[in-house]
A and B are shown apart, each in its own frame.
Chain A
Amino acid sequence: MEVVRNRWLTKNAWAAVLVLVGALPIAGFESGAPREPEREQEVNASGIARKGAFRLEGLRIREAALKRQLAALAPTGSYIIVDTARNRLYVRRRAEVLVTAVASTGSGTILDSPDRPGARWVFDTPRGEFMIQSKFMNPVWVKPDWAFLEEGLEVPADPAQRVEAGMLGDYALGFGNGFFIHGTLYTRLLGKNVTHGCVRLNDEDLRSVYRLADIGTPLMIF
């Protein structure tokens, strides 16, 4: 029993020593070289402080310049933003919001091609930055292959059979790869993800967007 007690005490003593050694730096005790005279330290400290302030000022100037450079990259005129998650379209000029519209965007559904195994259409509104490439009044819809296949119809050989008037509203603004901002007959579906990738608006909002956007107007979709 005496042996056990001695061992226990020895271990506790070692633990106490370890705790003390560990606590020294926390308590602010330092070992090493003796301290320099206070005056010398003050001189050094003021030098470092001056250098620090100088560097800080330099970084602040650089930050302001970079912010100006970044702000210069923003569109100078009107630009369009489409939020596909919430189905909203905004036309902005700088920070000012000129139009807020409820839109319909891509449904995210898929359609497999019956002719080409493995090939499929994904009806998403493309995301990224685009620009308005074309503007039309009274546009007609030239139905793509998927519009027929989705209905279970054969794709016509005659291009004239693809044309359908009155489906896209009074205006259409193209932004590449067959995608458009256009009107709709199904206004009750505005605010939902129902389209094949185009952005649909009601007549009034479409007119405002058509008026404010020119060819080259940036379009940001997320």
Chain B
Amino acid sequence: MGFGRITALFQRRTLRRLPTSPDLGRIFRLACWIALSLSTPALAVEPSSHGSVKGNGLDALREANRVLEEEIKLASRPRVYWLLDLSERVIAIKARGVELHRFPILAWHMAGGGSVAELFRLRARPSVARPKATSGDEASQELIELQDMPAEYELAFDPPLTLFVAPPAHERPWLWARSRLREWFTRFASWGRSVVVPSQKAAGPRLRLTLSREAAQSLAWSGTEGMPRLIKNAIPP
């Protein structure tokens, strides 16, 4: 085998291994796909924070004081309110500054921009089918109990804030998936509205809470129309 032949063979093999135009297209598509999968939250071009931040320092103290100031205003009048403490991962039902009940938040995720440093009022509690009262023995009547409340739902507040509540994926995979779908649909609908009517007000922040089934049902149970909710945001250290 002559030197020239070896060189020609080498060149042919090397060139064969180099990507051709269709290969480059495939590589480009693959790269795009990987980038999309890895950067879904970033693609939304919106701030998002997760339940792992637990703050301290100046900003956390400022936030704590802001919440205390708001809570004093709420507690000075006779009413029951929710305090959602993302830094401590807890939802407290309170009145007059007294904690009546608390549920742990297993995980949370906030997205959609906008501020949560406001007082939000619940527009409507999750709907539940109410049976009709019947005459006769009370024990045999159809009733609404805690177990009848939904464990996966969406709560809308004024000013705009949407709260998605669902049990963890490992506990109730179907409910978890439905909640994600609901969130995605809400986001898509909001985007659609903003495209059609550009002057429309923003949909506000979206907060996803993962609660145990019982806690999710208790939260749905305790909500009443117009009930105030105060959010203590988690400040990254």
Contact = CB atoms under 8 A, between A and B. Distances in A.
Interface in B84-106: 93, 95-98, 100-101
Contacts of A14: none
B164 to A, nearest CB: 21
Contact of A66 (B72, B98, B133): B72
Interface string B50-74: 0000000110011011001101100
Nearest to B136: A151
Given A108-B130, A220-B98, A73 B80 contact: no
B79 interface: yes
B224 A127 contact: yes
Interface string B138-164: 110111111000000000000000000
B223 to A, nearest CB: 9
A188 B145 CA distance: 17
B75 interface: yes
B27 to A, nearest CB: 10
Contacts of B69: 66
A52 B131 CA distance: 60
Contact of B224 (A75, A128, A188): A128
A220 B100 contact: yes
Given A56-B57, A194-B138, A74 B143 contact: no
Contacts of A130: 78
Contact of A73 (B57, B75, B222): B75
B206 to A, nearest CB: 25
A204 interface: no
Nearest to A121: B133
Nearest to A69: B72
B68 A107 contact: no
Interface residues of A, number: 56
B7 interface: no
Interface in A47-92: 52, 55-56, 59-60, 62-63, 66-67, 69-71, 73-75, 79, 81, 83-86, 92
Contact of A56 (B58, B93, B97): B58
B222 A59 contact: no
A50 to B, nearest CB: 14
Contacts of A92: 98
Interface stretch (A1-9, A137-145, A207-215): A1-9
A189 B140 CA distance: 11
Interface stretch (A18-26, A35-43, A109-117, A158-166): A109-117
A107 to B, nearest CB: 5
Interface string B117-141: 0000000000010111111001101
A222 interface: yes
A45 interface: no
Interface in A125-156: 127-131, 146, 150-152
Given A107-B143, A108-B144, A222-B93, A70 B75 contact: yes
B196 interface: no
B24 interface: yes
A108 B68 contact: no
A55 B221 CA distance: 42
A67 B69 CA distance: 9
Contacts of A122: 130
A4 B57 contact: no
Interface of B: 15, 18-21, 24, 57-58, 61-62, 64-65, 68-69, 71-72, 75-76, 78-80, 93, 95-98, 100-101, 128, 130-135, 138-139, 141-146, 217-218, 221-222, 224
5 contacts: A56-B61, A59-B65, A75-B96, A85-B222, A109-B130
Given A107-B144, A131-B78, A218-B95, 10 more contacts: A1-B18, A4-B20, A62-B65, A63-B68, A66-B72, A85-B217, A85-B222, A129-B79, A150-B135, A192-B139
